[in-house]
Amino acid sequence: MVSDSMLDSLSRSFASYVNHSFISGSLRQYPSLEQYYIPSKQERKRFGFCTANHRMTVSSTDNSVDTKSALSGLAPLEAVLFDVDGTLCDSDPLHYYAFREMLQEINFNDGVPITEEFFIQNIAGKHNEDIAVLLFPNDIPRGLKFTEDKEAMFRRLASEQLKAINGLYKLKKWIEDRGLKRAAVTNAPRPNAELMISLLGLSEFFHAVILGDDCEHAKPHPEPYLKALEVLKVSKEHTFICEDSVSGIKAGVAAGMPVVGLTTRNPEHVLMEAKPTFLIKDYDDPKLWVALEELDKKEAAEKPAA
């Protein structure tokens, strides 16, 4: 469907569009992708898009939840589970770009490029089988082949552009210092997941990587997170999850665990509908560290005196 030369051309086009700090974890360092494309009235009407100036990412603000004590009930903490795309790294711009360019190449939507809103509402965080059904409802095999080609392009882009979410390695050290178990739980295909985890230097960090492809049901079903608990031999009463998408947050909540949501690319009001425990901008967000400090205090108080 998509030739290697086309993938090379699209990769070069993307590289010329963004600077080398594109995936930086800070929205202030680069313009919104929507400035690169303004949807037509016809497209907004067709797909139900609304605000033309909407941004894929919004800054985190205080939520009504008491974040200070939000995680303290997990003491003693046993494990932390992470999504990959958008949670370990800000990869959604790469996925969005690949989908937009390749769909336009095959004249999807009469050649009108998809917008960020369409990507957020219909693609972000979803399993490729579900995406194939959405984009090619009358030709699922074609849809599956398209998503395979799109993932090949994504891996080319990620090899040059991928960077960690701000504060990730600070949280990594906090987890390691406490000897907690950890797993990556993702709807991404195995080649994508392994590449991103490797590029981020986390191959030795995770005790397990759970793929939607290895489960009967992918996210938003809770099965992938429940499987992670089983593999790690930990309890949901002593584990929390980090997620950035509605699909992933719903999966974690359905699995019975607190979910810390990241506003990496998705609007806060959309994420809050999935009922995360609280939202953070990134892993440097003070709200996260206040909650972790309170968790440490609760755990120390419950330890028997020597």
Backbone φ and ψ of 184, nearest 5°: -95, 130
Instruction: Yes or no: say if 104 and 111 are a contact pair by the CB < 8 Å rule.
Output: yes
Residue spans of alpha helices (H) in the chain: 4-17, 41-47, 92-105, 116-122, 128-135, 140-161, 168-177, 190-199, 223-232, 246-254, 268-272, 286-302
CB contact at 8 A, 89 and 104: no
> Which is the catalytic residue, given 85, 92, 244, 285?
85
85 is catalytic: yes
Asked if 296 is an active-site residue, the reply is: no
Catalytic position from the list 83, 92, 130, 285: 83
Task: Judge if the upstream peptide bond of residue 191 is cis by omega within 30 degrees of 0.
Answer: no
Question: CA-CA distance, 128 to 112, in Å (whole number)?
Answer: 22
| CA dihedral angle for residue 160, residue 150, residue 265, residue 207, rounded to 10 degrees | -70
Residue positions annotated with a catalytic role: 83, 85
